[in-house]
Chain A
Amino acid sequence: MDLALNETQLMLQSMAREFLANEVPKTSVRAIDESATGFSAELWRKIADLGWSGMAVPEEYGGTGNSLTDLGSVFEAMGEVACPSPLLAQVLAAHLVLGVATLDQRATLLPVIAMAERLFAVAITEPEYGWGAGAVQMRGVIDGDQVTMSGTKMFVPYAEVTDDLLVLVRTGDGATPEQGLTLVKVERDAAGIDVRRHQGWFGEPVCQVTFADARADVIGVPGEAWPGVEAALDKTVVLLSAFMLGGTQAALDMSVEYSKTRMAFGQPIGTFQRVQDLIIKALNDADAIRWTTYEALWKLDEGREDGPLAASMAKAVASEG
């Protein structure tokens, strides 16, 4: 048993922190958030140059083949400064291609993802709203290596600025909702695709994407995408938990510091029990997120059977405290 990050992870994390401290000050987080697209191509290029977009991609495909825990240590550091970037979407794309695509498709797509030559956004959720395979009802008609599809996807991060979209569509009906789902790839600029940014209070730019007889390339085996999609989501969701861990810990550290210096009624507010209760709640949340997330990362890296359960638990804890 050893609950510490290993040498590599500690190094990755400290390099990440140094980079983020220099390149992503609070002012730039706000500026990017308030910009027209919520995206900074300049920052994304720097992140890609650090190799982070290739961490989830095996070496044979031009990446560095890092473990999820390695990635988690970087996402934790990013969360500490609320670093705005499409890295999570790009990593999800890598996991999807690894989980669903044919060998040939892997060989062409993964190096592009790893080097961030193109940006990938992933479209799964639909207006009927729901999670899981059954919630994917947008229809696609298979035509050789291609699919013609129409319908709407919601809450697609970075769809406005992406180069490519990976879309999950229903191309058939099986005995269970898991059957008949196909992953496709299409250029965002292709005919029949309309992207509209959702307005509201989101941590990252999210969009509605409408397809009208758009033609896309089939990735992997038609109708059999779901198991690979689910596995890719499990792996990616736990990285989101790691990001939230960084954010929660940073908020906690700020609160502790503030409660020592902010005075009221002649004393630091941290001396009031009711303020302490709030801080202790945050401390418990942060530690609960930390250890459920770390354990989930470890279980997924080890290929444990209960890895997906641990990933969902970490996400539930990170989201709701």
Chain B
Amino acid sequence: MDFEYVYSAEQDSFRREAREFFDARVPTDRRGPVDPESLDDDTFAYFREVHREMGARGWLYPTYPKEYGGGGMTADHEMVIEEEMARRQIPKHFSNGLVLPSILVWGTEEQKKRFLIPLLTGEETCYQTFSEAHAGSDLAAISSTAVRDGDDWVINGHKLFITGIREPDLMYGPFVTQPDGARHHNMGYFLIPYPTPGVTLTRMTLMNGPGQLFINFDNVRVPAGNLLGGDDEGWQVAATTLEQEHGGRGAAFSPDEDTQELLAYVRDTKRNGVAIGVDPTVRLNAVDNYIESQIHRLLETRNFWMYVTKREMTYHGAQSALWRKEFKVRNAIREATIMGPYALLDHTDDAPVAGGSPEVRQRRNVAWTHPGGTPEIMRLIIARRLGISRTRERAAPTPSTATSHTG
């Protein structure tokens, strides 16, 4: 048994290259904001450009094939890039890349060329348009439609809670193609460019900030070539997207800055002249948080290892997603318990704790239990995969992008 990820010589030399690029490109006074969902225009534009330059090198989506604009590299390289970005707090691509595996698995050659290249090179961004007012957890209950008309599909309806901090170039998601068709077989998966006449975006402000959109579709025409998979296969195509979203891939490293911040606070803070860590309630809360954070790290490590060694995964992805979602909420509660009202001071206050990041978590960690399915839905998936539910299911197909892995 060996829990240590050992960097290969190739990774070490690639890291030097990555560091040179980022050091030269992103000065130290350029950092992502404490609250990634309230990004000012200047910062957005700045990093959008950084992302384009990364994309030109194949560094935005390193493991995707070069012919489609990816890096043609291994997951080993990807790991290095992610680490170097995290180290500099460089925001991730402002795009929801969960469609990419679906295009790779389900797309025709022409679709891969047409849609993957601009997305993978960072020229374009895309948003995931799945949820509707009456179809969230129960995605199969969507009612927005796509009707065939000559060489086009005509789309009507709405999508909401769509994550995206500006405007996308492309939207993707399932729409009903056969209103009378059988559940799960009545939809197609569409790729919809933006802007397109008939599409309107309205910003929604949830507790986590202005990070989501309401999108209305009013007789929106897209060509037949924008349908991914068959017009009754939308459910399966969406399953490939969701498999990734549920955390199937794991991670070799999941540094938890939030917990480090909390431990540092407990170590460094005094009340009435006494270190708060002497209070057993404070200590227990901090230690429980540490332990749960470590368990999350280990579940991610396990998934990573299973993924790269191509072991069959069943409940594992949903389990780590469930753990993360519930842990993050407890993390926020513990911060509030330990810090009291200081956990609520935001970054505009004169002297917030840790630049105001605890305040962001008080809101964000609750809201972010939803995307990709609530904890209850993660439980539902786990139960199915354990074979105790009425419904049985196996993991959806994903492209195994991790080709050659060392470790």
Listed in ascending order, the chain A residues whose CB lies under 8 Å from chain B are: 1-6, 9, 69, 256, 259-260, 267-268, 270-271, 273, 275-277, 279-280, 283-284, 287-288, 291-292, 294-295, 297-299, 313, 316-317
Contacts and interface: CB of A to CB of B under 8 A. Distances in A.
15 contacts: A1-B5, A1-B252, A2-B305, A3-B302, A9-B1, A256-B387, A268-B388, A270-B383, A271-B388, A275-B388, A279-B386, A280-B383, A283-B382, A291-B301, A298-B1
A256 B386 CA distance: 8
Contact of A270 (B3, B315, B389): B389
B294 A69 contact: no
Contact of B1 (A2, A267, A317): A2
B1 A291 contact: no
A137 B31 CA distance: 56
Helix, strand, loop or mixed for chain A's interface? helix
A23 to B, nearest CB: 27
B402 to A, nearest CB: 13
Nearest to A289: B295
A1 B303 CA distance: 12
A287 B319 contact: yes
A276 B291 contact: no
B388 A5 contact: no
B197 to A, nearest CB: 44
Given A1-B5, A291-B302, A271 B390 contact: yes
B407 interface: yes
A260 B390 CA distance: 10
B80 to A, nearest CB: 15
A259 B388 contact: yes
A270 B319 contact: no
A1 B323 contact: no
Contact of A291 (B298, B386, B389): B298
Given A271-B388, A271-B390, A294-B1, A1 B305 contact: yes
A299 B298 CA distance: 14
Contacts of A1: 2-6, 252, 301, 305, 407
Given A313-B291, A313-B294, A298 B388 contact: no
A273 B379 CA distance: 9
Instruction: Please list the 7 inter-chain residue pairs (A to B) with the smallest Cβ-Cβ separation, ordered nearest first.
Output: A270-B388, A291-B298, A1-B407, A276-B383, A288-B295, A3-B305, A1-B5
Given A283-B315, A287-B299, 10 more contacts: A1-B252, A3-B1, A3-B3, A69-B1, A268-B388, A270-B388, A279-B383, A283-B319, A291-B301, A292-B295
A278 to B, nearest CB: 11
A279 B380 CA distance: 12
B386 A292 contact: no
Contacts of B390: 267, 271
A55 B323 CA distance: 36
Interface string B1-22: 1111110000000000000000
A255 B117 CA distance: 49
A320 B3 CA distance: 24
Contacts of B388: 256, 259-260, 268, 270-271, 275-276, 279
Interface in B318-338: 319, 322-323
A155 B155 CA distance: 72
Interface in B1-59: 1-6
A271 B392 CA distance: 11
Counting contact residues on chain B (CB < 8 A from A), the size range is 20 to 34
Given A270-B383, A292-B298, A284 B323 contact: yes
Contacts of A280: 322, 379, 382-383
A69 B5 CA distance: 19
A67 to B, nearest CB: 9
B301 A298 contact: no
Contacts of B302: 3, 287, 291
Given A260-B388, A268-B388, A313-B291, A3 B383 contact: no
A288 B407 CA distance: 23
A312 to B, nearest CB: 10
Contacts of B376: 273
A291 B295 contact: yes
B175 to A, nearest CB: 30
Contacts of B299: 287-288, 291
B298 A295 contact: yes
Contacts of B5: 1
Contacts of B382: 276, 280, 283
B308 to A, nearest CB: 8
A299 B1 CA distance: 10
A287 B388 CA distance: 18
Nearest to B323: A284
Contacts of A294: 1, 3
Contacts of A4: 1
A316 B3 contact: no
Contacts of B2: 1-3, 298
Nearest to B379: A280
B295 A317 contact: yes
Contacts of A2: 1-2, 305, 407
Nearest to B295: A288
A275 to B, nearest CB: 8
Nearest to A72: B1
Contacts of A256: 386-388
Contacts of B383: 270, 273, 276, 279-280
Nearest to B5: A1
Contacts of A313: 291, 294
A292 B298 CA distance: 7
Interface string B263-302: 0000000000000000000000000000100110011011
Interface string B115-153: 000000000000000000000000000000000000000
A64 B315 CA distance: 38
B319 A260 contact: no
A313 B323 CA distance: 17
A294 B4 CA distance: 12
A276 B358 CA distance: 33
B294 A5 contact: no
Nearest to B252: A1
Contact of B291 (A5, A279, A295, A317): A317
Nearest to B320: A287
